[in-house]
Amino acid sequence: MSQSAVRDGGRLSMWRAAWVIARRDFTAILLSKTFIFFLLGPLFPVVVMGLAGGVGAQVQSEASVADVGIAMQSEDVDAMLAAHRELSTQIRGSLPPMVDLKRLAPGESFDARSVLEEGEGSLAAIVTGTLDAPVLTATQGRVARWQGTVGLIAGHARDGVSRTYPPVSTAVVGTSGAAENSGRLRTAQGGQVLLFLLIMLLASMVLSNLVEEKGNKIIEVLAAAVPMDAVFMGKLFAMLGVSVVGIAVWGSTGAAILYAGGQSLSDFANPGVGWPIFFALFALYFAMGYLLLGSIFLAVGSLAATVREVQTLSMPATMFQILVFFFASLAVTDRGGVIEYTAMAFPLSSPFAMVARAAAEEELWPHLLALGWQALWVAIFIHAGATLFRKRVMQSGPRGAVRSSPLKALSGMFRNSSTPSA
């Protein structure tokens, strides 16, 4: 037999050992017949997203409040706002919010079109002119929806008892701050949902994989040869690799479908950071979120000896992650508020919150900060998970082994204990 790399007899480096494990897991999953079901997986989230539309719509209605700005002479502004308040009490919910945009001096003109097209704030429309001849500037859809409403308010503002309403002139613009915000909000929500579903799917898969290997004792062959930390890392990164393949397939398919349907990304609201950077950030936040949750799930898997125990133990972890997801979703409605900053700071919700931010805001530096912060927590989580994994994964021995209950295992997770075997 020829001389080989084993002649020096040292230990494999952590990364090389992890690479051996990851390569095996990666090719085994990719070449399995069931991988096709993995690729079909996103069909199911589409259904789930449809079902979750109610929640999303609620969030959107909260988050995408579109204001109608008033830019008239001062007394007209006051009259319009007073009429709006009065009418709102009688036909609540039907009137869009109205805000004091600018009080004009006599003879002063106001370029409503350029203000809207700059896309600042949440302005959806602007009313200019006078109470007798109001002018509504907005996108086509909103002009059609609000033309009568503006006439009603202006008529009420002019003469509270009159039943005559002034004609409302209109000016149509291509977009507005509200339209842009609404589109970005949809991108943010879509990104969050996709991120969440991908992460949950993959974390569950890596957990199943571990439990299977624990059950059939292959893990002992691995543990005898390479450090347990390397096994942990290898399994985690193998599934990350699988997910990259999946995302590439799904992304290409989605792009092909869009292209075939005559659409392109320019038809969608441009994310705050732009599409290329948004995709890059999405991939990074996905990797961070997956590594964070995957390390938790692997640690959970090391505590459990059977699939039933895994289901029992992973339920709280799953429910917690769903709560985290909803928390991050809520943060979308509180831009710049305490909820958003908390969601960005809390490690498990940070990837979701930051994906939403990438869709909504232009600044890049918060992402660099967040990625560094998340990377720190990934390192902490992986180290803690690997430690627990190493201590607990050889829990059960061959026949006749005494097994600790998962709760006992949890209580002793920081002790160096495992279970005897023959």
- Measured from the CB atom, the residue of 5 and 40 that comes closer to other proteins is 5
Contact flags string 358-397 toward other proteins, x per CB under 8 A = ------------------------------------x--x
CA distance 361 to 358: 6
Tokens of 18: 């992890």
For residues 152 and 134, give the distance between their C-alpha atoms in angstroms, rounded to a whole number. 11
CB-nearer residue toward other proteins: 80 or 231:
231
Instruction: Using the minimum distance from each CB to other proteins, give the nearer residue, 55 or 402.
Output: 402
Q: How far is the CB of 219 from other proteins (least distance, A)?
A: 9
| Contact between 416 and other proteins per CB under 8 A | yes
* Residue 239 touching other proteins (CB under 8 A): no
Q: CA 150 to CA 178: how far, in whole Å? A: 18
Closer residue to other proteins, CB minimum distance, 8 or 105: 8
CB of 304 to other proteins, least distance (A): 17
Q: Partners of 169 in the beta sheet?
A: 135
What is the closest distance, in whole angstroms, from the C-beta atom of residue 8 to other proteins in the complex? 7
Query: Taking CB under 8 A as the criterion, which residues in 175-234 touch other proteins?
Result: 216-218, 220-227
20 or 364, CB closer to other proteins? Answer: 20
Distance CA 357, CA 257 (A): 27
Which two tokens mark 71? Answer: 């830019």
Task: Name which of 98, 138, 122 is nearest 180 in CA terms.
Answer: 122
What would the x/- binding string for other proteins be over residues 10 to 29, using CB under 8 A? xxx----x--x---x---x-
CA proximity to 174, closest of 110, 127, 119, 98: 119
Contact present, 102 and 110 (Cβ < 8 Å): yes
By beta-carbon proximity to other proteins, the closer residue of 342 and 419 is: 419
Amino acid residing at 336: G
Give the span between the Cα atoms of 318 and 203, in whole angstroms.
Answer: 10
- Site residues for other proteins, 27-56, by CB under 8 A, read 28, 31-32
CA distance 139 to 144: 9
Dihedral sign of CA atoms 8, 10, 11, 13 in order:
negative
Rounded to an integer, what is the distance from CA 277 to the centroid of its chain?
15
Give 152 or 233: the residue with its C-beta nearer to other proteins. Answer: 233
Stretch that binds other proteins, among 47-55, 166-174, 294-302, 410-418 (CB under 8 A): 410-418
Minimum distance, C-beta of residue 244 to other proteins, in the bound complex (Å): 21
Which one, of 100, 153, 160, 158, lies nearest residue 131 by Cα?
A: 158
Q: Give the shortest CB-25-to-other proteins separation in angstroms.
A: 9
**Distance from C-alpha of 418 to C-alpha of 352, rounded to nearest angstrom:** 36
Positions touching other proteins (CB under 8 A) are 1-2, 4-6, 8-12, 17, 20, 24, 28, 31-32, 216-218, 220-227, 394, 397-400, 402, 404, 408, 412, 416-422
